[in-house]
Amino acid sequence: MYPSSRVLFTVYRTVVRQPYSHNNSLLRVHPTGIRVLSGADNISSHVKLYSTEHSEKHGKRDKKTEPKHVKPDSNTQRTGDESHSFKAETQMLLDMVANSLYSDKEVFLRELISNACDALEKLRFKNIETARSQIQGNEDLKIEISANKQEMVLVIEDTGVGMTKDELIKNLGTIARSGSRAFIEDMKKKGKSDMSNSVIGQFGVGFYSAFMVAKKVEVQTRSSSDKSGYKWTCDGSSIFHVEPVEKETVGTKIILHLKPEAREFADSQRVEDLVKKYSNFVRFPIKLNGNQINSVEPLWVMDPKTVTMDKHIEFYKFLANSFDKPRFVLHYKADAPVNINALIYFPEGKPGLFQGHEDGECGVSLYARRVLIKSKATEIVPKWLRFVKGVIDSEDIPLNISRELLQNSSLLRKLKSVITNRILKFLLDKSTKEPQEYTKFYDDYSLYLKEGIILGESQTEKEDIAKLLRYESSTLPPGETTSFLEYRKKMTEDQKKIYYLVAPSRELAETSPYLEAMKEKNVDVIFCYQQYDEAVLMQLKEFNSCSIISVENELRRSTQDNHVSTPGGLSESEIDALTGWMKSYLKDKVDTVRINNKLDTHPCIVTVEEMSMARHFIKTQKHGLTDDMVYSLLRPRFEINPKHPLMKKLFLLKDSDVQVAELLTEQLYKNCLVTAGLIQDPRNAIQKLNEIFELILKKY
């Protein structure tokens, strides 16, 4: 079939559909003229095998481009040995595939095992098609690996479909020709595309990753449809040899003669670690030096109804390398809008000391047809969900040719959205069906949910996460919490806003002057006890078309600018005199001084525009700013209660004892700033308080 002249490679110079970029290119532009092959292209159409014999398709050969015949080595050539030469450009292409395509040498074992799995799958399909359980004496479907550290040899052997001489030359003599892709296309033509879903190979370059670690590669193979065996040999140079070989069993045996710098891959423990890392869940048994090493079942591909909790516990401990148990288990399959097999575990234990850090590692691994693609699926699992553990397997994952990088950002966004929404829906169901268990989970992991709102990419996503938040409120007894959904249901028709109050504790929240000033509205107020809760609600902004606003901001916007007196309080003239005097004393520390008739037991409050943002500014940006600069930026409004005894007495003191009146005014103002959270260190207010005590003691 292939004459003794020579078989050479021709690398087509093709027009690439995508412009060159470092991230999505397969091969770089080279001075000899090889064009960049993009991951989006079907690269199997770029590199093809052609004979140097004359053909009608190619016409007369050009003497300038005809390759020279390679003289075989008389010491090594045996009967039937055929030597095939590479064209110079193809040799360079082989070097690129072997040395530049993969980021880590260790993935060569993943690629070769994946090829072996495909060969086993093809034989299994062939058995089904022919209704025969065994073809040509094929043994059990399996993969055998042997490592010889002393000889620096690694052998990977499968009992799969094998290759004929023609297939051997085409598949291994043509870079980027994928036999698995051709098999899949053949199955589709026969209307049996579902039978090929477990085939892994796509690009036809995985085999050449062996040259990253091997100085010489031998392939012994025998097809299930042929009684003869053949051996393919190449040392990575410009020639490969094909010759007959005695092989009793059907399948393929790859012998890697390792380079000195790759001697680690002849170590049995290193090989076992790599198999468990990348190929632990492939469909077929993998034996290393006679012992099976992939015994853990891939639970995510099984029917969720058939997997017991004991199996989940065992798999979770293996996956998470942990000794606790999963608190919740989310196991689901989906075909639309994207194909997904997902198994997500929510840990029972509390997050570790460093796990909560924003740079913590993702706990979900990404697989494609049971083969590990990425141990940290950061592209499809949001950062705030880094506390979950599990596996996501999808046939729709867009991979680049090395199967190390994900492509097609629109599909990845859809996949990420599907996974995130499914997890949120699962937790929402748990919160309603198992409220006590969910409360325990929330106590341990609520910080991650709140981080999700801050990092959320859309308002819809933020509101979906907000459905899981729980807060105490002014209308509920201590210890009892409510959700935004429940709050929304209890709102009256005329209430258009959701109110919250930030305080260190419930006691301080219930005694807050701002809550007191809201009593006449008769609305429920959410209590936030953590400082970061305020930042979370600022990012959330609204829920179910209702704006979320702090009670301080509401008071700022609703307080009337008038000096109308109330029964039992100062008169209008007294109010004007007192507020004018206080403004003249405080000067630029306040923007205005006015009354607030909504206060009852508290003498005064301070309001500023956007109190939440003001507090955040004080916490993060105040360093280096003087008090006067802060006052000028915040423009606080000092609001007094004209009915309070302190204000009545202060009105008299401003004329009878100016020193005490000034000290008292400044102390009341600083008290308000402390209550509002606008003074980080309340110790600064103690000095004036001591001066007031000294003056009082002098009079008694």
In the chain, pLDDT over 70 holds for what percent of residues? 75
Question: For residues 354 and 386, what is the distance between their CA atoms, to the nearest angstrom?
Answer: 12
Q: Which one-letter amino acid corresponds to residue 242?
A: V
What per-residue confidence (pLDDT) applies to 129?
Answer: 65
What per-residue confidence (pLDDT) applies to 481?
Answer: 96
Confidence band (pLDDT; 50, 70, 90) for 581? very high
Lowest mean pLDDT among 123-132, 575-584, 634-643, 684-693: 123-132
Question: Highest-confidence range of 147-156, 184-193, 560-569, by mean pLDDT?
Answer: 147-156
Q: What is the DSSP code string of 526-575?
A: EEE-SHHHHHHHHHH-EETTEEEEEHHHHHHHH--------TTS--HHHH
Closest CA to 342 of 361, 364, 360: 364
Confidence band (pLDDT; 50, 70, 90) for 266? very high
Closest CA to 302 of 317, 287, 312, 316: 312
Binding site for ATP, by residue number, is 111, 115, 158, 163, 171, 178-179, 202-207, 252, 403
What per-residue confidence (pLDDT) applies to 700?
Answer: 61
H or E element at residue 364: strand 364-368
Question: For residues 602 and 676, what is the distance between their CA atoms, to the nearest angstrom?
Answer: 13
Confidence band (pLDDT; 50, 70, 90) for 508? very high
Closest CA to 207 of 173, 239, 230, 237: 173
User: What is the average per-residue pLDDT within 65-73?
Assistant: 41
Structural domains in the chain plus CATH codes:
107-292 (3.30.565.10), 299-447 (3.30.230.80), 471-557 (3.40.50.11260), 562-699 (1.20.120.790)
H or E element at residue 73: none
User: What is the average per-residue pLDDT within 49-76?
Assistant: 39
∠ CA 491-494-496 to the nearest 5 degrees? Answer: 70
What per-residue confidence (pLDDT) applies to 556?
Answer: 83
Orientation angle between helical segments 611-621 and 627-634, nearest 10 degrees:
150
Confidence band (pLDDT; 50, 70, 90) for 80? low
User: What is the average per-residue pLDDT within 645-657?
Assistant: 92
pLDDT in tens, 201-212: 443 577 888 988
User: What is the average per-residue pLDDT within 79-101?
Assistant: 63
Confidence band (pLDDT; 50, 70, 90) for 139? low
Q: Would the pLDDT of 443 be above 90?
A: yes
Binding site, by residue number, is 111, 115, 158, 163, 171, 178-179, 202-207, 252, 403
Confidence band (pLDDT; 50, 70, 90) for 621? confident
- Residue 528 has φ and ψ, to the nearest 5°, of -115, 120
pLDDT in tens, 534-555: 999 999 999 999 999 999 988 8
Confidence band (pLDDT; 50, 70, 90) for 377? confident
Q: Would the pLDDT of 403 be above 70?
A: no
User: What is the average per-residue pLDDT within 445-456?
Assistant: 94
User: What is the average per-residue pLDDT within 651-667?
Assistant: 91
pLDDT in tens, 160-182: 999 999 888 888 876 655 444 45
- State CA 209 to chain mean position distance: 28
User: What is the average per-residue pLDDT within 282-292?
Assistant: 92
Confidence band (pLDDT; 50, 70, 90) for 684? confident
- Chain mean pLDDT for the chain: 80
What per-residue confidence (pLDDT) applies to 565?
Answer: 66
Q: Would the pLDDT of 53 be above 70?
A: no
Q: Which value, to the nearest 10 degrees, does the dihedral of the CA atoms of residues 269, 275, 277, 280 take?
A: -130
Residues 48, 7: contact at Cβ < 8 Å?
no
User: What is the average per-residue pLDDT within 324-349?
Assistant: 91
Q: Which residues contact 252 (CB under 8 A, 6 or more apart)?
A: 116, 119, 157, 158, 160, 162, 163, 219, 220, 221
The DSSP bridge partners found for residue 340 are: 334
Residues 217, 257: contact at Cβ < 8 Å?
yes
Lowest mean pLDDT among 84-88, 209-213, 373-377: 84-88
Confidence band (pLDDT; 50, 70, 90) for 44? very low
